[in-house]
Amino acid sequence: MFDLLIFGGTVVDGSGAARRQADVGIAGGRILAVGDLSAQPARQRHDAVGRIVCPGFIDVHTHDDRLLLTSPAGPHPKLTQGVTTVVTGNCGISLAPLLSNETPPAPLDLLGADDWRYDRFGDYLDALEAAGPALNAACLVGHSTLRVRHVPDLRRPATAPEAERMARDLADALDAGAFGLSTGLYYPPARAATAEEVIAVGAPLSAAQGLITMHIRDEADAIDDALREALHIGQALGVSTVLSHHKLIGQRNHGRSVNTLAMVDTAALSQPVCMDCYPYNASSTMLLASRVGQSREVLVTWSVGDPSAAGKSLFALARERGCSPESLVEPLSPAGAVYFAMHEDDVRRILGHPLTMVGSDGLAHDAVPHPRLWGTFPRVLGHYARDQRLFSLETAVHKMTGLSARRFGLRDRGLIAQDHAADIVVFDETCIADRATFEQPTAPSAGIDAVFINGQLACAHGHTVNAHAGQVLRRQRSF
């Protein structure tokens, strides 16, 4: 007997294959059968007639390290859009291993000031298991976090002994179940790091076959050199490389995705490489003066210097105060911002590329977050697949499930298939849509009926049913 039978739906299985009518039988948190199961007994039945049944979405680029330790009082930003698994620790920023009573330097402070209490990466994973996360979590170790822990002067490259200590921490984290290393060479804590330093720190990845995800050193004028550096690091380590939130910043770089994607295609002939991106033409990170001139608009998402600035235009604030936008950055800092500096044609071209997965890159602790935190996955399905017809629904689901599971080594996730974990989303393809906007960034999405995680109903019509259905996923084999 099945614990749960999802019947009458149209299965889009996550592989990219054509949809088909099928029921899904579940027991013990796993999929036992897919097919005509209408005559089979089940303790519970979920009516999916007229709905799409697909694997739970895998958000491959998150900063949910701290969010996973808590249960939001209201709607959950990830459950409400069908996400069942998140990859944390991106852009060089992970909550562990770093034991500190002080607020770490930006951008580590994007994760907050008070939770830097895990001296070993395994301690964080254990705490996460004890908390009972709402989502499944696959966790990365941040290179910048390791630098803050071991390099006293972040303005210089690490010495050989410092790199060795960082590498030991990475090896310990991999043994505990971390999936790989992330870098954020664009940001101040890691800007002085050389490619040689990253290769030395990442050495344990090679034997463990962990992956490396890279927020590259530049996404604007010097993007070609930054891509070459990232690809060189991945090739030197002999591991799979994920290019984080691939994009082109600044008007004079609009259209250059034609060239950058050609570089990735060439590299993919000789090394394992892929990308993630989010479906918006605006980015969000710490407030930086260097980013202001590249942008047609800048919205402040949070500010310690002036909390009232959150949600307001930096340019409008500067006009009110009679100063330049760049000069306003320091009195607002530390702070975060949304930057409108990308072109929609590049977003479409990158999102549509066969090597591109979907990741929200949402910042859960911003006072006024980028809407990608709440709307990324329904936006891909509704706006880009259904309305814009950038790709088929089957391709869209594949980019958010099967492709992501394969690239990150999530061996039993990402497919509606026998013996896979029962992470499942049921939605209405005719009306699924993101509702979060830059004016109302926390509006839940529409069109998702149910979200099952490990066979348990976690979210129904936007309301959290089980806030502890997730599991900590620990790396178990090479990928």
What are the DSSP calls for 392-422, one per residue? -HHHHHHHHTHHHHHHHT-TT-SS--TTSB-
DSSP notation for 71-106? --SS--TTGGGTEEEEEES-TT--S-SEE-SSPPPT
Say how many domains are in the chain. 2
Instruction: Give 154-165 pLDDT, tens digit per residue.
Output: 999 999 999 999
Q: What is the pLDDT of residue 8?
A: 98
179 and 321 in a single domain? The answer is no
Contact predicate 126/75, CB 8 Å: no
167 and 240 in a single domain? The answer is yes
389 and 406 in a single domain? The answer is yes
Instruction: Give 444-473 pLDDT, tens digit per residue.
Output: 999 999 999 999 999 999 999 999 999 999
Confirm whether 208 is domain-assigned. yes
363 and 312 in a single domain? The answer is no
* Of 411, 432, 454, the domain-final residue: 411
145 and 233 in a single domain? The answer is yes
**CATH for 272:** 3.20.20.140
Q: Residue 477 above 70 pLDDT?
A: no
Q: Residue 478 above 50 pLDDT?
A: no
Confirm whether 136 is domain-assigned. yes
265 and 134 in a single domain? The answer is yes
Amino acid at 475: R
* Of 411, 431, 455, the domain-final residue: 411
175 and 320 in a single domain? The answer is no
Residue 181's domain comprises 56-282+341-411
Q: What is the mean pLDDT of the chain?
A: 97
**CATH for 303:** 3.30.1490.130
Confirm whether 82 is domain-assigned. yes
* Of 389, 411, 433, the domain-final residue: 411
How far is residue 11's CA from residue 450's CA, in Å, rounded to a whole number? 14
Phi and psi, residue 6, nearest 5°: -95, 110
Q: How far is CA 258 from CA 118, 226, 263, 354, in A?
A: 42, 16, 9, 14
How far is residue 444's CA from residue 91's CA, in Å, rounded to a whole number? 26
Confirm whether 130 is domain-assigned. yes
Confirm whether 348 is domain-assigned. yes
Crossing angle of helices 160-176 and 143-150, rounded to 10°: 130
Confirm whether 6 is domain-assigned. no
Q: What is the pLDDT of residue 73?
A: 85
Q: What is the pLDDT of residue 362?
A: 97
323 and 381 in a single domain? The answer is no
DSSP conformation class of 446: B
289 and 166 in a single domain? The answer is no
Angle (CA) 245 249 250, round 5°: 170
356 and 291 in a single domain? The answer is no
The arithmetic mean of pLDDT across residues 179-206, rounded, is 98
Q: What is the pLDDT of residue 227?
A: 98
305 and 250 in a single domain? The answer is no
Read off the pLDDT band of 95 (50, 70, 90).
very high
336 and 364 in a single domain? The answer is no
Q: Residue 479 above 70 pLDDT?
A: no
β-strand 23-27 against 98-99: which pairing, if any?
unpaired
Confirm whether 355 is domain-assigned. yes
Instruction: Locate 314 and state its tokens.
Output: 């930096």
Q: What is the pLDDT of residue 113?
A: 85
Instruction: Give 246-287 pLDDT, tens digit per residue.
Output: 999 999 999 999 999 999 999 999 999 999 999 999 999 999
Strand (E) or helix (H) holding 207? helix 203-208
Alpha-helical (H) ranges within 242-371 are 257-268, 289-292, 314-321, 325-332, 344-351
Confirm whether 312 is domain-assigned. yes
